[in-house]
Structure 1
Amino acid sequence: MKSKKYIPIAVNDGIGFGAKLKPKQLAVLGTYLDEDTDIELTTFQQLIVQIPEVEWEEAKKTFDKVGLQYYKVGKYVKNLRTCNFCKGEEEEGMPVAKELNRRIAGQVVPFTLKPAYTGCSIGCGEPLINDIGVMKDKNTFELYIGGKSIGRDARIGKLVKSNLQPEELYELVERVLDLYRENGKKREKFYRFVDRFGIENIKQELHIT
């Protein structure tokens, strides 16, 4: 008898007001899980689950119907970690967070990359201590890279550019990811890439003065 193969998948309710799941989403998710399967809750507002490979195509269609967002697990850009958007969708830039997540989540990179976003200077989404951090400042955005949240060498990210409009932000983040893909070593963590390549060299490659 062949053993059942599983696909590890990260799921959540997408970008919204806090990390939530609806009862119907949990019910649907449960139909694809074995009774004794482990479910991991991550700090990136995701559940990591194991879906039987033979059921994956059907599961995706069902997840889409109930609004469950799903992402690959491994050497990809994770979904955008966000704050709770305590002041409302437009004021804290939720549409920008949603669009940025749509563009970058799931992209292949040398090592798992964690992006984060916050809608104000309080920084609840912890953008300064993640690989890529975006902070809204009034009506523009700031981009930080190379943060690290754990270990004795934990540190905040380095500012790449401020006063960005949404389209400028999307383009710049994608160029940063391109640079990492082209120059990062195999399994090189992003903060190590930033250290090795150098923030000034990165800015030069990105044509930022």
Structure 2
Amino acid sequence: MGRNAFTKNVPEHTFATLNKESSYTRLAISPGVINKHYTPAQLQKIAEIVGEDGAIKYSASYYLLISVPTEKRLEICQQLEDVGLYIAQQGAVVDMKACDFCDGEKMEAAAITEALYKTFVGQAVRNRLRLNVNGCASACYNAMYDDIGLVYQQDSFDVYVGAIPMGRHAQAGKLFAKNVSVENIEAFLQEMLHIYNEFARENEPFHRFFKRTKAEAFWANLRVSHMD
């Protein structure tokens, strides 16, 4: 029982080892921002693309990380999208995580989550920023442990900021604003990102920026604005 849990601790193929012999690109893929279920056809396509000599790794952000030849990147991206897979954007942009809304049983916040995705994902920021939306107060997808966490309840969001997601100083974010309405949440986040882009240092992570500036008037003004 469990005899395979700790075997083969060192994989034969990794992104690093593959790049020693050729040029590889790592793609972060998933069934979607909300959907967490892969279909057999999707898994077959992933296996076909990666083959025996590639690398597949599961990440802490709910993505499969696949290493593919850089020269075939665009072709492979199209094949993945054709079977309904989502490919996360890379670089200093807004990325989104979300819960699965209890596998579709609690969909109250799904529409606004999609709207936020269309507005914010891929938006340029000082450093990669993760926006995490959870559809109820259970927050079982750990919204409080990402750069900006939104927890939905009763037609509004509680907003958490400042989390340190990893390292020996890791900690949850703090409640920044309570009961920001669904109608106001997009404008509220736009202003938050504007502050970050305007006043952050080059490549400064969001949690460091917030810690450095949390006493500044622009944060207090933002809190007041959502109550108008």
TM-score range, shorter chain: 0.7 to 0.9
Equivalent residue in structure 2 for 1:14, among 19, 24, 32: 32
- CA RMSD in angstroms, aligned pairs only: 2.5
Q: CA deviation at 1:88?
A: 1.7
Match of 1:27 in 2: 44
Aligned residue-pair number: 204
* Residue-by-residue CA offset, 1:55-93 (whole Å, 9 max, x unaligned): 22222332222111101334332331x2332272433x1
- Could you tell me how far apart the structure 1 residues matched to 2:149 and 2:179 are? 14
Structure 2 residues not aligned, in runs of 5+: 1-20
Q: Answer yes or no: is 1:58 the counterpart of 2:75.
A: yes
What is the rounded CA distance, in whole Å, between the counterparts of 1:151 and 1:10 in structure 2?
22
1:174 aligns to 2:210 (yes or no): no
- The alpha carbon displacement at 1:43 in A equals 1.7
What's the offset of the Cα at 1:138? 1.6
| More deviation, 132-141/94-103 | 94-103
What do the CA deviations read for 1:108-140 (whole angstroms, capped 9, x no partner)? 333232221211111102111221100011221
Q: Is 1:77 aligned to residue 94 of structure 2?
A: yes
Whether the 8 Å CA contact 1:143–1:169 is kept in 2: the answer is no
Report the Cα offset of residue 9 of structure 1: 1.7
1:199 CA displacement:
5.3
Q: How has the CA–CA distance of structure 1 residues 46 and 102 changed in structure 2, closer, same or farther, with 3 Å as cutoff?
A: farther
Alignment check: 8 A CA contact 2:136 2:151 kept: yes
Deviation at 1:183, TM superposition (A): 2.1
Tell me, yes or no, if the aligned pair for 1:33 and 1:50 is still in contact at 8 Å: yes
* Aligned counterpart in structure 1 of residue 134 of structure 2, from 118, 122, 131: 118
Is the 1:13–1:21 Cα contact (8 Å) retained in structure 2?
yes
2:23 alignment counterpart: 5
Q: TM-score, normalised by structure 1?
A: 0.83
Amino acid at match of 1:108: A
1:9 is paired with a residue whose SS is strand
Instruction: Tell me: CA distance 1:9–1:148, structure 2 relative to 1, closer, same or farther (3 Å).
Output: same
Unmatched segments (≥5 aa) in structure 1? none
CA distance in 1, matches of 2:165, 2:193: 20
Tell which has more relative contact order, 1 or 2 (C-alpha 8 A, sep 6+).
1
1:107 aligns with 123
Structure-2 change in CA distance of 1:207 and 1:132 (3 Å): closer
Helix, strand or coil at the partner of 2:55: coil
CA offset at residue 152 of structure 1? Answer: 4.5
Write the distance in 1 (CA, Å) between the matches of 2:67 and 2:190. 29
- Could you tell me how far apart the structure 2 residues matched to 1:29 and 1:175 are? 39
Distance 1:124 1:184 in 2: 30
Distance 1:178 1:26 in 2: 39
Q: 1:46 aligns with which of 41, 63, 77?
A: 63
